[in-house]
Chain A
Amino acid sequence: MSAVATAGGLDDRVLDELASVLGDDHLLTSRPARLHRARVPAPFPVHRWADHVPDCVALPGSTEEVAEVVRIANRFRVPVVPRSGGTGLTDGAVPLRHGILLDLKRLDAIHEIDLEDRTCTVGAGVNMLKLNEVLGRHGLIYPDDPASYPCSLVGGRIGTSGWSLVGSRYGHTRDLVLSFVHVLPTGEVIRAGDGGGAKISKSSTGLNLKHLLMGHQGTLGVATEATLKLYPRPEAELSPFWAFEDYDTAHRTLRELVRADCATFAGAVLFDEEKVAYLRRDDEAYIPQPENVRALVCAVLYGNEDEVRAGGRRLMRIARANGARYLGDEISEGDWAARHDRYATPLHGRTKSGQVIPMSWHCEDAAINWSRLPAVRREWHAIIARLRAKSDVFDDWGMFAYTSGRTGVDYLTEIDVGIWEQELDDETWAMWVQAKREIAAVAVAHGGSISACHGACREGEVDVVPDELGPAYDVMRRLKRTLDPNNVMNPGKYGFDGAFEEDLT
């Protein structure tokens, strides 16, 4: 039997064993059930949908069932691909080798809300917005706020090591998750945390496995339950938006706002000139502004009202001193509250002649130091311009840069590319994959990271991963081999198959 789990086509023995663990109702083999769990929102080669369809779908209702499924997969050398919300943007949940699609959405219970130490424990299938509707009644909040906040699930946040729009104050998923129940690729179950305590945020006992077991895209197992750190629900929110006549001024002002060191500062976003031009396509997003508004910066503060006001006053002064014009409360408040919804609007796609077309949306997410943002911006727009010159299938929707931390050392740097999915074929897909490679290479060349948060296992960018990681990449392969000797967990992702080459000779 091959040590490397091979493409599926599950026989009846495997299906029977799975059914006896899950119950017939929770093992799905129909074609629609499998097709719907083949893709995630990242642009998808629709013309090759069948390439990524799993052989069956498991809907476990408990950690024990998850562990059993994984043990069965090991016995039969069948791939297992975990799928939480299926809202990731790096194809982490796309089955490269068919196999068992492990759908975690039924794990949606809130097991405990601890009002004393301010934690809660939830199943991996819980959505943060729905959780916060409950926590709000206790004056608490779990402030993990990605663009997918209304629909992404806790398990996926762990599997991708998610990033939050308000991470500069509250931290990101890795800071907010205290510990989690984790099923290893062999089916053993452990708790991954800082040390062994479930509700501990900082420990130096033993080796820290928590961060290793976050962000692996399902290649090192799957989380089934998490204990979360809770904050007081903010008393006040302030989200000013400022307009600038050019990108460079906006870029410099961004640095000054961050350096103000306001305790309630939760994040800032820089919109480049191409992004502002794109937003002008939809005057709902953006009340018409004069021509000389070319770049924007917004900042957001959360906390108690005294501190938010004090911080706000200082930021307003700094912005004005740098030549910014405040866009007013209506835009500032509305656009911040709309932050999750402003992303993938397909009808903002345009042909070169300006006609409306539905476009899918690619969102790059490199991590780039502030000092390198202008150069990365120039190079990325040039890559997309070359693409668009070759084909109407691609469109440049501009760039965002978001603070990842309160010191402003690095930014989640995003270029949004519209892709006319209806018209994709092998030729345009290949153009796209090459562009992805080039985009990723730019990030690495500037000392950054291919991905701040989605992951880097998409076609194209994954080829650049060894360049970014250097010798550390081989350590990752060795860890993969150690923890997943049969290569059942999401095989093929991240090029980790390379860890198993010896077994093939």
Chain B
Amino acid sequence: MSIEESEATGAPGAGPTDEFVREWRNAAYNCYSSGHKFCREVCPVMQVERNESWTPTAFHANVVAMEKGELSIEEVASDYVNCTQCGACELRCPNTLFTGDFYRFRTRTVDLVKAVRALAVEQGIHQPGYQRWNLLTDERRHEPVLGEFDGDGIPVDQAHVADWAADLDLPIGGETILFVDCEAAFYRTSVPRAVAQILKLAGVEFGLMREQWCCGGPAAEMGYLEQAKRFARHNLDDWRAVGVKRVIVLDPHDYITFTEDYPKYFGEEVDDLEIVLAVELFAELIREGRLRPSVPIERTITYHDPCRLNKRKGIWKEPREVLRAIPGLDFRDVDRVTQWSYCSGGGAGLPVEKPELTAKISGRRLEKAAELEVDTLVSACPWSERPLSQAGDAHAIDVVDIHELLAESLGIEVGGRRGA
């Protein structure tokens, strides 16, 4: 039936599942009727679990099944936990890769997983880990990255969100602010310290937010959409209040939240807001000669393309430019297409609900690195660095953030800590 017909009859029903199915019907059949399944071998979950119920194909087929009345949201909700929203599947899918731009219609598994999770939450179906995590985030305005009871006695809350910058003499407000995600602000503080000090060295003016809340991205990824929007509204209002025109982010997850989620929530209101990814800025500053990494770093490294840069945004060149500018490195690269099937397992709340699955995925990533006989795995995503570091211990591979490495080569004493 045509779009008009299905909207007019409102077939089959008017409940939230029916609305959802109507919205996703064509997308679901685009997958179901294709049969390609090229998504599977690039999916980090599929590679370790080999369970066809936890595949992008099944995620789409569930919608068809719900349309036919064969399955209900209750029956499938927990299956959607098994996804890091890395975007490999939807990129590799021929309906994106070969004809997505032609039709302006592509596979959107990430959005589908988020939408199903939101549908479940809306109907009172919660995953216990997600629910607890987002409740604590709501209470403190930041994600409980140091555990529920604040490991090391460091409180995760508004009063301490800028503690990482205590001795760096950074102003509050201004046209350009640096946004620091929860994991970097509280757990791996060496990353924002590195970024802030590199920016200062290059003479880039910036400040911190008056009142930074969590960006809201993880809440949206886990299905807590109302909370995500509320947090986004707060952050946007805070920016507007001090005349912010430009937001620098160091975390790929934030980059996605601000360039994709915030426009969806706020539309034209954010048309003129500039979002700058720190590593892209640093590559440019190196090209212009405003940053000259000169301290040799004798490490044998390989680079982990963060999913949310490489697969989700097509950003892979600048991090490699930065690494190639650092003297002393023996850089054993793996190309960006091969890395479509790599992942740390840290995304979309997976470590919150199924840490053992995250560990399997990051274990596999470290095995790949170990085959190259490197001593260091460099990432550009703080969220990936925790699971990768944990897996790195077994291989005696040090997991380092690209900003930390660059700062070191610029002669900066970074300070802070690289996690617990």
Contacts and interface: CB of A to CB of B under 8 A. Distances in A.
Contacts of B71: 31-32, 35
A318 B199 CA distance: 63
A133 B37 contact: no
**How many B residues are at the interface, by size bracket?**
35 or more
5 contacts: A87-B37, A150-B41, A342-B94, A346-B29, A360-B32
Interface string A323-356: 0000000000000001011111111100000001
A114 B68 CA distance: 50
A274 interface: no
A358 interface: yes
Contacts of A359: 33
Given A28-B53, A46-B64, A345 B75 contact: no
B357 to A, nearest CB: 13
B266 to A, nearest CB: 30
Interface in A92-132: 103, 105-106, 108, 125, 127, 129-130
Given A30-B75, A36-B61, A49-B65, A282 B99 contact: yes
B76 interface: yes
B79 A59 contact: no
A346 B41 contact: no
Which 7 pairs from chain A and chain B are nearest by CB? A41-B35, A360-B33, A105-B50, A341-B94, A151-B37, A150-B38, A36-B58
B41 A345 contact: no
Contact of B95 (A40, A127, A345, A419): A345
Interface in B150-191: none
Interface of A: 28, 30-33, 35-37, 40-43, 46-47, 49-50, 59, 85-87, 103, 105-106, 108, 125, 127, 129-130, 133, 148, 150-151, 282-285, 338, 340-348, 356, 358-361, 419, 421-423
Dominant SS at the A interface? loop
A49 B33 contact: no
Dominant SS at the B interface? helix
Contacts of A37: 52
B396 interface: no
Interface in B311-365: 338
Given A86-B52, A342-B98, A32 B34 contact: no
A41 B36 contact: yes
Interface stretch (B101-109, B115-123, B288-296, B387-395): B101-109
Given A85-B37, A151-B40, A360-B33, 16 more contacts: A30-B53, A31-B71, A36-B57, A36-B61, A41-B35, A85-B40, A105-B52, A283-B102, A284-B98, A345-B95, A346-B95, A347-B95, A356-B103, A361-B34, A419-B33, A423-B1
Interface string B24-51: 0110011011111110110000000011
B41 A130 contact: yes
Contacts of A419: 33
Interface of B: 1, 25-26, 29-30, 32-38, 40-41, 50-53, 55, 57-58, 61-62, 64-65, 68, 70-71, 75-76, 79, 92, 94-95, 97-99, 101-103, 105, 338
Contacts of A103: 52
Given A37-B52, A341-B97, A49 B37 contact: no
A341 B92 CA distance: 10
Contact of A345 (B53, B55, B76, B94): B94
Contacts of B53: 28, 30, 32-33, 36
Contact of A32 (B40, B57, B62): B62
Contact of B33 (A133, A341, A343, A358): A358
B68 to A, nearest CB: 6
